[in-house]
Amino acid sequence: MYNSDIHFKSMYDKAPGQFSFEGSTIDEWSRWGDAFRPALQRALGLHNMATDLQDHQPWAEQVEAVKLEDYSREFWHLWVEPNVPLPFYLLRPDKQTTPAPLVLTPHGHNRPNLYVGIANNPEEEESIKSGDRDIAVQAVKEGYTVIAPTTRAFGETRTNQNRQEDTLHSCRTELMHCLLVGRTVIGERVWDISRLIDWALANLEIDPNRIAITGNSGGGTTSLHAAACDARIAVAVPSCYFCTYVGSIGTIYHCDCNYIPGILRLGEMYDVAGLIAPRPFEAIAGEKDEIFPIQRVRTAFEKLKAIYAAAGAPENCELYVGSEGHRYYKDGAWPFIRKHFTQHQQS
């Protein structure tokens, strides 16, 4: 009798993991990272995007500005591709030294307005309150300049039909079109983060040594992969995502946007996260998270700690476990980011 679980497990077991980290020294880690990062970028389709868009110069347009109690909130579009005006919110505290630290807060499978504290109904208001989901507001109240982008395939970047029907996202459709041209949805979202950093460094008074990224769930997906690919991100704090590919998206139902063709032939998620070393990395997890199981998170974290040790920075790798489920935990995020921003400022 055919047993799909046995079959899928055998497939995972046979995946070669070409860049599974097995070193123990800084030299071994350095050579490994130099070879692995371009391979990851190819798997994400970033090399194809760079080739296809080499003649495109992103440009931005401000749509509106609102003055709030102790910060301003602006709404912009950045043309990350000729036909993709990516919406993003820019939050700036009233009191801030320059050059300013920057925090990017990509969202997950929720509406972009939640991260900037805009609730359009009681359900959204409760979601913000119960899950610490106003992450961009938290960041600006820490005194940081904040970019809260619309995640590709959400909001204004949904398909025409999904916008008309007000479906939350267009992830599956986006993935199908991506696969036809050698892209991935995660790769597009990483591309967008890098273009936003380009724009911020060119147009805002940003400290290039104090750039952080943090988001929950799908926002954690973007945070981890963007930091692995773009070394300008100094601090990475993905929430309720870091786990193992096999133990999360490989065994539990997830949105189509999570999948990178052939990723297990390169390595596991902790190998990808290892590309962030020696930069500070904190995984936030929920003890009762049912789609990123905590036991698999802890297994992945032990593997990641070994990579950070080889990179000579074991103190830069932390795990914060909240007592509840699949949500953001602000008490775990901001002390970590604050500590490392302070260290960068003093160095």
Query: pLDDT-based confidence at 343, cuts 50/70/90?
Result: confident
Asked if 19 and 267 touch (Cβ cutoff 8 Å), the reply is yes
Q: Where are the beta strands (DSSP E) in 12-134?
A: 60-67, 71-81, 84-93, 100-104
Q: 203, 216, 212: which is closest to 232 by C-alpha?
A: 212
- Kindly state the tokens that stand for 69: 């109690």
Query: pLDDT-based confidence at 59, cuts 50/70/90?
Result: very high
Sorted by where each begins, the domain ranges of the chain are 28-346
What 3-state DSSP class applies to 219? helix
Return the pLDDT at 96.
87
Read off the amino acid at residue 326. H
268-289 confidence digits (pLDDT tens): 999 999 999 999 999 999 999 9
Return the pLDDT at 344.
79
- Mean per-residue pLDDT, 75-99: 96
Percent of the chain whose pLDDT exceeds 90: 97
Asked if 197 and 230 touch (Cβ cutoff 8 Å), the reply is yes
36-55 confidence digits (pLDDT tens): 999 999 999 999 999 999 99
158-180 confidence digits (pLDDT tens): 999 999 999 999 999 999 999 99
Alpha-carbon span 251 to 243, nearest angstrom:
12
Residue 206 has pLDDT above 90, yes or no: yes
Residue 134 has pLDDT above 80, yes or no: yes
Domain 28-346 class in CATH: alpha beta
Q: Where are the beta strands (DSSP E) in 82-129?
A: 84-93, 100-104
Average pLDDT, the chain: 97
